[in-house]
Amino acid sequence: MSGHSKWATIKHKKGALDAKRGKIFTRLIKEITVAAKAGGGDPDGNPRLRTAIAAAKAENMPADNIKRAIQKGTGELEGANYEEISFEGYGPGGVAIIVETLTDNRNRAVSEIRHAFSKNGGNLGESGSVSYMFSKKGVIVVAKSAANEDKLTEIALEAGAEDLADEGDNWEITCSPKDYEAVLSAIKAAGIPTEVAEVTMVPSTYTKLEGASASAMMRLLEAIEDLDDTQNVYSNFDMDEESVPA
């Protein structure tokens, strides 16, 4: 697909979240805690925890905060008992949406997610209604100004990447989640900065919206993002750069 638009969406979402720094830390702490509870407190033997810690360090989270989050997961410190719940549904124009939550109150999470969808032109679907359209992938985005295509391709593919695609002003590298750490480490070792680096749900197709529909979709995504229980939001929403609300 012609790159540009989905990264405009990502940058807009990231900007909205950056304005709520405390919310980012809260989500990272919850992910570290749940990862430690599920797979133990040693990141060397717990890939999910290792990824969560790397994400926290990328946001400059203090080491003490990370340590406490791990200890809450392993039971060394008292902490909330979080449940992982995923929701699937549709937004304006039939855009597919997956919402991942970590909550200590299932009824609250269900009620708030349903309200956010219904109030903003969306509707919740059954489990499996849209997830078949997505695959879990490692995604690393590098600005074209930061790396030569041939050099980046060689580095990424040797480290285990599946593909390098032209996305307008950026190169988009995709890999399997198990190869994500190796690919990202190889790119960083070469001194190449990244614009986006995450394990995410990548849609097989995109639904492009314009004008009022695009604005309505942004409102729905922001309403979902604002909820305390929301951990990740994925969609196959695509739009033009100029459609991004200011």
User: Looking at residue 9, what is its pLDDT?
Assistant: 54
CATH number at residue 13: 1.10.10.200
pLDDT on residue 190 = 95
| Burial readout 172-202 (b: 16 or more C-beta within 10 A, e: otherwise) | bbbbeeebbbebbebbeeeebebbebbbbbe
| pLDDT tens figures, 218-237 | 999 999 999 999 999 999 99
Whether 43 and 156 map to the same domain: the answer is: no
**What is the total count of domains within the chain?**
3
> 30 and 19: one domain?
yes
Alpha-carbon distance 6 to 237, whole Å?
Answer: 7
- Decide if 79 is inside a domain: no
DSSP string, 63-106: HHHHHHHHHHHHTSS-----EEEEEEEE-GGG-EEEEEEEES-H
Residue 175 located in a structural domain: yes
Residue 5 pLDDT > 50: no
Mean pLDDT of the chain: 88
pLDDT digits (tens, 9 = 90+) for 30-54: 999 999 999 999 999 999 999 999 8
Residues 126 and 210 in one domain: yes
Give me the CATH number covering residue 104: 3.30.70.980
Q: Which of 61, 69, 79 is nearest to 25 (CA)?
A: 61
- Are residues 220 and 199 part of one domain? no
- Say if residue 25 is in the same domain as residue 121: no
Say yes or no: 140 and 175 in one domain.
Answer: yes
* This prediction's pTM: 0.85
Residue 25 lies in a domain: yes
Whole domain around residue 233: which residue ranges? 85-132+205-239
